[in-house]
Structure 1
Amino acid sequence: MREQIIHKSAELFLSLGFKSVTMDDIASEMGISKKTIYVHFENKTKLVEAVTFTLFSNICDGIDCICNASHNPIEELYDIKMYVMNYLKNEKTSPQFQLKKYYPKIYQILHLKQFEKMHESVKESIQKGVDTELFRSNINVDFISRMYFNGMTGIKDDTIFPKEKYTMEYLMESYLEYHLRAIVTTKGMTVLNNFINKNQS
């Protein structure tokens, strides 16, 4: 039952937001009593925490699978972007910024976990690109991976990139291309252009 509550709550939080979904809403959607939820979760904050870290863990597992199966670091980053977009396809609110506003402690822990995960995997990916001569050999791999995380986090800020003007898909696509064009070699540019021409209209 605990896993079912987490699963349904995740759906509701992603589509309606952390703030607006109540324990009553979750109980009603699941056809169970609110007491049943409280057997597994002491309060809404504990439920939000469980949902947040379950989603994060699931996304990490998917990213690991992509990294293990990737052909090259350019396609790898695009595959990860598509995976994350599909995973969060029901995201109609800005869950990370709602988390930051209403559950700042959970947000801080998540932000650190996201940084540690992305920093590690992006560093490996960039180094792979350098080793295969797709990325320039004179780049600072550690610095670039930190900048990438900072940029990917920054594009989710509604105040800078309002939803009415930019879709999340456009922002992720554009930022990824911006990032790659800054670090590719001539060989890497050919791979990138071929990939973009083949996969985008």
Structure 2
Amino acid sequence: MRNKIISKATELFLNFGFKSVTMDDIANELGISKKTIYVHFSNKTKLVEATTFHLFDVICDGIDGICDTATNPIEELYSIKLYVMTHLKNEKTSPQFQLKKYYPQIHQRLKNKQFEKMHKSVLESLIEGVRSGVFRDTIDTDFISRMYFTGMTGIKDNMFFPHDKYQMEYLMESYLEYHLRAIVTDKGMTILNNFINKSITKTNA
């Protein structure tokens, strides 16, 4: 039952936001009493914490699978972007923003874990990209991996990129292209242009 509660709560939080979803809403969706939820989670904060880190673990497992099978670092980054967007429902309720506003301690812990994961995986990707000749061998891989994390978290800040003006899909797509154009070789640019053209074709289809 604990896992069912986490699964349903995650779905509701992503679709409607952490603030608006109540314990009653979750209980009604599951067809159980609210008391049953409290058997597993003493309060809503504990449930938010459990769902947040459950989703983080699920996404990390998926990213690891992509990293193991991608044919090159550029494909890897585009596949990760698509995977994350799918799992976060295109972030239509701005879960990161709500988490920061209403559950700041959980948000900070999540951000720390996100940095550890992203820094490690992007650093490995950059090193492989240099080795395979798609990224320039003059880049500072540690610096670039940190900048990538800073940019990816920065575009989610509503103050700089208002949600009524920018769709998250557009922001992630644009930032990823911006990031890659700064570090690719001619070989890498050919691969990147192929992905951009595919993306344009899908958008216009």
Give, in whole Å, the separation in 1 of the partners of 2:111 and 2:90: 21
The whole-number CA distance in structure 1 between the counterparts of 2:199 and 2:110 is 32
Calculate the TM-score normalised by the size of structure 2: 0.96
Residue pair 2:90, 2:169 contacting (<8 A) in 1 also: no
Q: TM-score normalised to the size of structure 1? A: 0.97
Query: In structure 1, what is the equivalent of residue 23 of structure 2?
Result: 23
Amino acid across the alignment from 1:151? G
Partner of 1:171: 171
Distance 1:174 1:91 in 2: 16
Per the alignment, residue 76 of structure 2 pairs with: 76
Paired position in structure 2 for 1:105 = 105
**Aligned length, in residue pairs:** 201
- Write the deviation string for residues 78-103 of structure 1: whole angstroms up to 9, x where unpaired: 00001111111264211111111111
Q: Which residue of 2 aligns with 1:89?
A: 89
Structure 1 vs Structure 2 CA RMSD: 1.0
Task: String of CA shifts for 1:89-123, please: whole Å, max 9, x gaps.
Answer: 26421111111111111001000000000000000
2:63 maps to what in 1? Answer: 63
**Would you say the 8 A contact 1:19–1:98 is kept in 2?**
yes
Output the CA distance in 2 between the equivalents of 1:196 and 1:78.
10
Secondary structure of the structure 1 residue equivalent to 2:58: helix
1:92 & 1:6 partners in 2: Cα distance?
Answer: 20
**Distance in 1 between the 2:64 and 2:27 partners?**
34
Unaligned stretches of 5+ residues in structure 1 = none
1:128 counterpart residue number: 128
Q: CA deviation at 1:28?
A: 1.2
2:119 counterpart letter in structure 1: H
